[in-house]
Amino acid sequence: MTPRPLPRTLAPLEDESLVGLILRLAHHSGSSPAAIALRMGLAHKEGIYVPAGSLLELPPRELAEAAHVAGLSVPEMENLLLAPLGERYGPLSQQYDPWYGPQLLTNPRRWVHLRSTQFCERCLAGNGSSLRERLGGAWKRHWHLPVVFACVEHRRMLRRHCPYCGRPAHAARRGLIAHASQEDLHPTQCRASSIFQTSSRDRSVCGASMAAESGSRSISSDRATREEIIGLQRRIDALLSPNGPSSTLSCGEMVSVAQYFMDLRAVTALIFASWPLARPLAATEALARAAERDGERRQRSARDLRSRVKGAWAGNYFLAPPDTALATSAVLGIAERLLKAADNSEERAGLIDLYQPAVAGRAPLSRRLVAELGASPPLCRTLGITPRPRKASTRSAPQMPAAEAG
């Protein structure tokens, strides 16, 4: 039996994610996110929750059913998901970094925030229209990518945690939406369990608003740092845009945009693995300090592990994306500078210098691991290593586990 469309539907906002649309539809219809997801064929009937894999991709039949119920076209529904971003973002690409279900993408080294997100308080406040005033702005797909760390429009760093309870935004113990059965929460309210315990059957939620029309933190009081961050985010946004260039420069050669983001990830790992060698390359002192806090923490964690377990491999400490939005802008700025450097320049020599300590024992990044991070042939040649053959995806259609994983 074909399910009936929802009685009240909404057009997706620009770059809106599936989570954002479900939350707005629930508030618009006076229902719960779980009820909306169930009508769309996305939620489990038992122990109501929305599988985390639903945000990533949906099998064709489920995609068409969800689109029908929501009153959308199939392309509109697909553009609410994260998998299509892989056309330009290598860590989500089946061509450059194949994945076979959402479980793989929860690994921090994959550089995708699948179980949480970032947000701009000003964007969530809406644009002044009556509908957005009532339902809030879009929870954006690109906020799930670590390479997006600032809002260029509002000149604000993205937040990753609720300003009140400190929990990661949209993080749920199970599934995609925390407390999905609750009907009385606004789309911009924090759904994390309250820090205060109650004796009620349903645990109370934080409920703090994550939208703010004013008073949200600016990027930096330092003008040079501010302009550096905004400039870098503009360049990254241009590469991620569907209308952006198809290729860009990496180590003196043109590579696809998706491949370039793989190179950014690989060079970021080298920066952390050889820290503090890259500190002088930060654009400003404020950015250097932000990278330093993150780099030193990772080095301490790696040393602690090796001191406890002889011969332990601590490479995972260097593979995850930077801890904060500010540290992300600092380290990606360094990585961009190294990848764009001309042949025989000091920066190109600096890139090689970062790699040598990493393979010499100062940090546990091996030649094999750097290649497995998906480094491009130009980057591999610069580092003096042989590129690994790319693993081809064997998938012919979206897999069911993507919608079943909790």
Q: 368: pLDDT confidence band, cut at 50, 70 and 90?
A: low
Q: Is residue 172 scored above 90 in pLDDT? A: no
Q: Mean pLDDT across the stretch 325-345? A: 92
Q: Mean pLDDT across the stretch 8-33? A: 95
pLDDT at position 189: 95
**Cβ-contact 141, 15 below 8 angstroms:** yes
**Concatenated DSSP letters for 263-325?**
HHHHHHHHHHHTTTTTGGGSSSHHHHHHHHHHHHHHHHHHHHHHHHSTT---THHHHSPPSSH
pLDDT at position 203: 60
Q: Is residue 404 scored above 60 in pLDDT? A: no
The string of pLDDT tens digits covering residues 242-277 is 999 999 999 999 999 999 999 999 999 999 999 999
Q: Is residue 167 scored above 50 in pLDDT? A: yes
Angle between helices 223-240 and 325-340 (to 10 degrees): 70
Q: 365: pLDDT confidence band, cut at 50, 70 and 90?
A: low
Whether the bond into 276 is cis, omega within 30 of 0: yes
Structure-block tokens of residue 224: 């040079």
Q: Mean pLDDT across the stretch 196-219? A: 69
Q: Is residue 130 scored above 80 in pLDDT? A: no
Which residue did the predictor score with more confidence, 187 or 129? 187
